[in-house]
Structure 1
């Protein structure tokens, strides 16, 4: 397999004169990122042309909708890195009844199926799932059943 990097360091041609000598360890570093002020300032080059304003004096507004996922956790235990103890572990789950669980039980009562009222409280797919760290047992998040 061929080496990825050249065996000898790159050198300037013999006839060229460098204005300043740069140490070898700084030649391989990428340029430094811009400072916070440079990154957050808006320059005229990046904004583009000004939008056309209608002659009637009304302006149009554009709305941007950002959808944020409610929870990265699912209905089953999963392997995650705990933000509290920083260990990789499988989450421990516990199930908690939600309004859907109570609604199903109420509907079973209305149909006079009293012996089946406890079933929604025994079925995990009718309840929310709380995730806890498998190592430190701290709360991580909830998967809400809709």
Structure 2
């Protein structure tokens, strides 16, 4: 009679070999990882109007009154073009560019010159 050893063993299961929960399981354990601080980006909406606005600049963080610059808006150009079509081409077509309600108001920071927004009447 020949002496036989123990029967061959099955290969170890994942839990026996590695320990823990199978990676395909929805119940994976929470592993602690080193968290690095990510920069936080904050966007602000500055309510701008037809005049200067008192606010804090989101770029240089200074308390400011915005500097304003006006330029003709879309309504001024369209109405000036219509006046040219109707025969007012000797300078009367420029009248809409002098009406404050037809102008766009651009706001900027007087400290760092960053553009802050635009106000349009229409």
1:134 aligns with 2:110: yes
Using the alignment, how far apart are the partners of 1:82 and 1:137 within structure 2? Answer: 10
Using the alignment, how far apart are the partners of 1:91 and 1:123 within structure 2? Answer: 22
1:105-124 equivalences under 5 Å are 105-114=80-89, 115-124=91-100
* Greater relative contact order structure (CA < 8 Å, 6+ sep): 2
Using the alignment, how far apart are the partners of 1:119 and 1:99 within structure 2? Answer: 14
Q: Would you identify which runs of 4 or more consecutive aligned residues in structure 1 move more than 4 Å?
A: none
Using the alignment, how far apart are the partners of 1:104 and 1:129 within structure 2? Answer: 18
SS at match of 1:118: helix
> What is the CA RMSD across the aligned residues, in angstroms?
1.9
> If the length of structure 2 is used for normalisation, what is the TM-score?
0.55
1:73 aligns with 2:48: yes
SS at match of 1:117: helix
Residue in structure 1 matching 2:71, options 82, 87, 96: 96
| Structure 2: runs of 5 or more not aligned | 1-44
| Structure 1: runs of 5 or more not aligned | 1-69
> If the length of structure 1 is used for normalisation, what is the TM-score?
0.47
Sort the Cα spacing of 1:105 and 1:81 in 2 relative to 1 into closer, same or farther, 3 A.
same
Using the alignment, how far apart are the partners of 2:99 and 2:112 within structure 1? Answer: 27
Using the alignment, how far apart are the partners of 2:59 and 2:80 within structure 1? Answer: 37
Please say which structure displays the higher CA radius of gyration: 2
Using the alignment, how far apart are the partners of 1:130 and 1:107 within structure 2? Answer: 25
